[in-house]
Structure 1
Amino acid sequence: MEQLLDLYGFVSVLLQVAELVARTTLLGGVAFWLLVGLPLAPLMPPSDAARLRALARWAVVVSACGGIAATLTASGLGIAALAATLDASPALLLGADFIVAAGLSLLAQAVLLALALPRGVPGPARQAALGLGALALLGAVTAGSHAIAREEGRTMLLAATGLHQAGASFWLGGLPGLLGALRLTPASARLVGRRYSWLAAFGVGLILLGVGGFWLGYIGEAEAVYGTAYGAMAATKLVLLVLLLALGAGNFLLLHRLQAKPDGLAWVRRFVEAEMAMGLAVLAVAASLTSVPPAADLPDDRVTWAEITERFTPAWPRFSSPSHEDLAIPSLQAELDSEWQQRQAAQRPQAYTPGEGLLPPRNAQDIAWSEYNHHWAGVMVLLVALAALLDATGRVPLARHWPLVFLGLAGFILLRSDPEAWPLGEIGLVESLRDPEVVQHKLAALLVVGFAIAEWWVRLSRDRRGQRPSRLRFVFPSAMLAGGVLLLAHTHAISNQKEALLVELSHLPLAVLAVVGGCARFAELRGPEPLARSARWIWPGALALIGLLLILYREA
């Protein structure tokens, strides 16, 4: 059970991401079905109309099943964590507010699933029931948000939360349905695309209204944006929203004004895929925000602009490593273990809170060790980016082996990322997996090995004429997207710890660049050719920026 509590914060945020994605696509699927699929079906050829109705129906069914599974898992994990820390029976916790809100959400999702399962065109009564079920789910979600706990401005924040979730559902939640509809005949695809673009524009308006309420209730001033974890994540979410709006604007122009473009629908499909990937990143940020108090609640000990400027002023990279024996934890392991256990026992509250843990002790050598790791990792990533750019020219055959550099990076991460744990430290591999940060590092090393081998195989086989393109080519961009999303979906320290926030401020741009690079690589692979030519240079550029940011990384 202690291992469950150690990993609870990280796992709970991942479940929050899954739940939020499923819920958004469920609400968006209902809206797409009622406001796009059903009204447009009579205007299409019968085969397209039947495919569109089936597509909308299955979007609701699949997302409802996913939402139910995620809600049940997240609620069960929360009950288990509370029961362990309070030494209480799980049955006694069933009346907790978050369980009641989850129960209402489950009921609404189950109703929507039941309404979507029957085949055939839904009549007026069934359509009304679908709409009411979606509103009930939206209300349950709003009731379980930050807003319900506020004493001041609660009505405004509840309204902002509802508008924000509804807007995300109209826009992002309907994208899977739109992507499927773009495979209809060109005339039908354009018809659906134009109708959906107005629905998405309405959703954007609702999102912006919600953003205004969140600013007033949760942030309040510019200093809170860069001075708190909540503000930094909200700013990152805004950056991703701007990128999403650019993609959405491109789709709007292609569907409404550039319909004569021969490959216009192919461009729309690629943009929609990129919107879905970035939408996932946005929802990951939103889920991560639930693990930290609003910025307005943390007026003290904020990071100042002067501290940010001092930390991010470029300095010469550190390419020499301190000795492992000089690090704080290896040099004082026994004493620290004892002290850590005593402090945890004394300070653990009655109800467990993800991210509440104390930061482990560090000295100057620990900082030097971490900076050394980041700087050499940056060198390797920069080498990969430069080799990929050379490979894009087609003039340097040796450059196609650039994925092998990632194997060195994977070994480097595995060896040096956690000096107090296996293989360098005294803590064994299994025991070290109680720490979410260690788990993330080990997963990252395995992820790097996997996509490096897959991409190298793609590079070796791409010149074989007559061979069908391997699906392995999608492993590398998928890994970039997964890395960016995981970097965004993490827990935060509940207290406003400056050092943790300064480190986080350096990692957020890396996550955004990883998402952008992954989207660009997908666009290169899937075309059309004019878009692929541009994307071929974008994703190595994103990798190069990631490498430079890692080389300039500082912790002191």
Structure 2
Amino acid sequence: MIWLTQDFELLSVLLRALTLSLEALTVGGVLFLLLVATPPTAEEHARKAASGFCAWMALALAIAQILSAAESTVTLMTGSALSFHEVVTADFFLADAVIVVASLLLFVLLRFKSHISQPLAPILALAILAGSVALSHAASRLDHRLLLVLFTAGHHLGSAAWIGAMPFLLVTMRRSSDTQRLHALVRRFSNVALVSVAVLVLAGLGMAWFYVGSWSGLYGSSYGMLVLAKVYLLLLILSLGAGNFFLLKKTRTDTKRLLTRLRRFNEVEIGLGFTAILVGASLTAQSPAADMQQMLTAHEVAHRLAWQMPSLTTPSFAQLTQRVPLANQLESTSFTGGSPNDAMDQAWSEYNHHWAGIIVLAAGIFAACASLLQRRWPLNWFRNWPLLFIGLAIFILLRADADAWPLGPRSFWGSFAEAEVLEHRIFTVLITAFALFEWAVATGRLQNRIAAMVFPGLCALGGAFLMTHSHSLGEMKEETLVEMSHALIALLGLTAGWARWLQLRLPERENFRLAAALNQIWPICLALVGLVLMDYRES
């Protein structure tokens, strides 16, 4: 059961991210139909497409919420003495039930075109919103509960009306043929988005005031760093949204070209927006900074960030902490807050990160050279830079986890019970996949446009997934310092992935300057990831 608890910890965050994302899509779809895709501004078949999409998102939300409730039930029953009856009568289970019932009713109303769907859909969306807020930190607070509930509800509503509604805008744009009405539709969405952003930011500031509590809570805790990550993602999305807004204000001519660029920008906004929701799910698994007794000081953060030469020598396997059976290790991690981690273990981990950093730095430099020389020397050997990541994947597989195969006594499959090992193996697969695809694309072996999107897609996915990665070192400050490095790597990876995505999706001839800038941003981000890894320390 302890094995399940370890994997369920990660599963809980991912399920929470899934339910929050589907909630934003479902509520955002209802708001889009109500406020944006009204009959005067949207064609009937486009409205039907958006309505059908919203129905399927509602069904997906119901299924995801059932899985989330089941995971919580199993975790509580295996980790405590609670009976099944006590669990299903708890407040969290009732909130899950409200979301499931409301989502299923919304699916039926929208799917079967009931005449009462228009007045009932907003009520069901509010029920979904209320159930989600009841599962948040706000509902469990003893102080300022009502105010925090209102802030949380505003934050969810603003996110739904902006990020959640954006995919429906793309669906409607693809189904529309009347360019004048489509232009009006986009303008209407832009106005709704402005209000939504204001609500989202104000509610977020209110929540941060109570949950973070101080400046030191912002930079000295894992919770605060995740809040800063959300702020960074929000700024990126706002930059893209501002570009679209001013583009709409600028001209009404060449509508087809205008709408193409809007769609491409919206794709990246959607990706970044749902990554921010994933970060929000990770926040729900953290204790608010205002509740913490131990936090990093500014001096400790500055000391850790100060550059030191990377370590290129490693301790021997025999010098590491004595290995224990897997079941004992999982039990120790679950009940003592961490696993043994002495100076030799830290040196082993730092060596791994530093060599990985050298590989990634070289890949970033080679990718930048390949981009610069592409027009002058199309057959330059720098185009083979993705193959460096094959070496990185092999290095992670062999060296990342000293306890596991092939170095340690734990079998390849048995070690998957540790969440950290599982995450490392997932990263290995992702790195290998995008290395092979990007190498084939960069060298011209693959001309398929979908294949070209594998590298940026997996780069963005890997960065998003890294935001859920955590370490159990048994010491809160050390865990926070390590997660600080991971957060930087994740955000740089996300920036690289989505910059490359936008570069590939934009028509280069029509957006030459922007494409050229993006073609330099993502290699620079890769190189910066390498530098962060080379400066990684655990002591």
TM range (shorter): over 0.9
Confirm whether residue 266 of structure 1 aligns to residue 260 of structure 2.
yes
- After superposition, residues 365-384 of structure 1 pair within 5 angstroms as 365-384=344-363
Change (3 A) 1:369 1:492: closer
Confirm whether residue 551 of structure 1 aligns to residue 537 of structure 2.
no
Which sections of structure 1, spanning at least 5 residues, go unmatched? 349-356
From 154, 163, 168, give the equivalent of 2:159.
168
Equivalent residue, structure 1, for 2:441: 458
Equivalent residue, structure 1, for 2:390: 407
Change (3 A) 1:314 1:417: same
Which amino acid in 2 is paired with 1:139? Answer: A
Q: Say which SS state the counterpart of residue 213 (structure 1) adopts.
A: helix
In 1, distance between residues paired with 2:472 and 2:314? 28
Shift of 1:157: 0.2
In 2, distance between residues paired with 1:43 and 1:231? 42
Equivalent residue, structure 2, for 1:519: 498
Confirm whether residue 241 of structure 1 aligns to residue 237 of structure 2.
no
Q: Say which SS state the counterpart of residue 424 (structure 1) adopts.
A: coil
In 2, distance between residues paired with 1:253 and 1:179? 19
In 2, distance between residues paired with 1:473 and 1:339? 45
In 2, distance between residues paired with 1:158 and 1:73? 25
Q: Say which SS state the counterpart of residue 247 (structure 2) adopts.
A: helix
From 72, 75, 79, give the equivalent of 1:78.
72
Q: Could you tell me whether the CA contact under 8 Å between 1:9 and 1:491 is conserved in 2?
A: no
Change (3 A) 1:192 1:550: same
Shift of 1:129: 0.5
In 2, distance between residues paired with 1:505 and 1:75? 31
Which amino acid in 2 is paired with 1:128? Answer: P
Q: Could you tell me whether the CA contact under 8 Å between 2:506 and 2:515 is conserved in 1?
A: yes
In 2, distance between residues paired with 1:536 and 1:174? 29
- After superposition, residues 26-425 of structure 1 pair within 5 angstroms as 26-37=26-37, 39=38, 41-43=39-41, 49-86=43-80, 89-119=83-113, 125-183=116-174, 184-185=176-177, 186-260=179-253, 263-298=257-292, 300-328=293-321, 332-334=322-324, 348=335, 358-392=337-371, 393-394=373-374, 395=377, 397-425=380-408
Change (3 A) 1:264 1:495: farther
Q: Could you tell me whether the CA contact under 8 Å between 1:308 and 1:502 is conserved in 2?
A: yes
In 2, distance between residues paired with 1:537 and 1:333? 45
Q: Could you tell me whether the CA contact under 8 Å between 1:375 and 1:553 is conserved in 2?
A: yes
Shift of 1:495: 8.6
Shift of 1:285: 0.6
Shift of 1:306: 0.8
Which amino acid in 2 is paired with 1:430? Answer: W
Percent identical: 35
Equivalent residue, structure 2, for 1:353: none
CA deviations 1:438-489 (Å, max 9, x no partner) are: 0000111111111111222223336x8xxx6342111111111111111113
Q: Could you tell me whether the CA contact under 8 Å between 2:110 and 2:117 is conserved in 1?
A: no
CA deviations 1:180-233 (Å, max 9, x no partner) are: 233334333322111001111111111122123212321121111112111111
In 2, distance between residues paired with 1:282 and 1:398? 37
In 1, distance between residues paired with 2:367 and 2:191? 39
CA deviations 1:120-163 (Å, max 9, x no partner) are: xx75x431111111111111111221111111111110100000
Shift of 1:176: 0.3
Q: Say which SS state the counterpart of residue 133 (structure 1) adopts.
A: helix
Instruction: State the superposition RMSD in angstroms.
Output: 2.1
- After superposition, residues 15-26 of structure 1 pair within 5 angstroms as 15-26=15-26
CA deviations 1:76-121 (Å, max 9, x no partner) are: 11111112223555344211111111001111111211111124xx
Shift of 1:533: 2.6
In 2, distance between residues paired with 1:495 and 1:343? 10
Change (3 A) 1:493 1:30: farther
Q: Could you tell me whether the CA contact under 8 Å between 1:281 and 1:488 is conserved in 2?
A: no
Change (3 A) 1:494 1:172: farther
Which amino acid in 2 is paired with 1:333? Answer: R
Shift of 1:505: 0.9
From 409, 413, 418, give the equivalent of 1:426.
409
Change (3 A) 1:339 1:112: closer
Change (3 A) 1:238 1:493: farther
Change (3 A) 1:338 1:200: closer
In 2, distance between residues paired with 1:342 and 1:534? 50
In 2, distance between residues paired with 1:141 and 1:29? 16
In 2, distance between residues paired with 1:342 and 1:541? 42
In 2, distance between residues paired with 1:179 and 1:169? 15
Quick check: 80-89 or 194-203, which moved more? 80-89
Q: Could you tell me whether the CA contact under 8 Å between 1:80 and 1:90 is conserved in 2?
A: no
Kindly tell me the number of residue pairs found equivalent between the two proteins: 528
Which sections of structure 2, spanning at least 5 residues, go unmatched? none
Equivalent residue, structure 2, for 1:5: 5
Change (3 A) 1:450 1:111: same
| TM-score relative to the length of structure 2 | 0.93
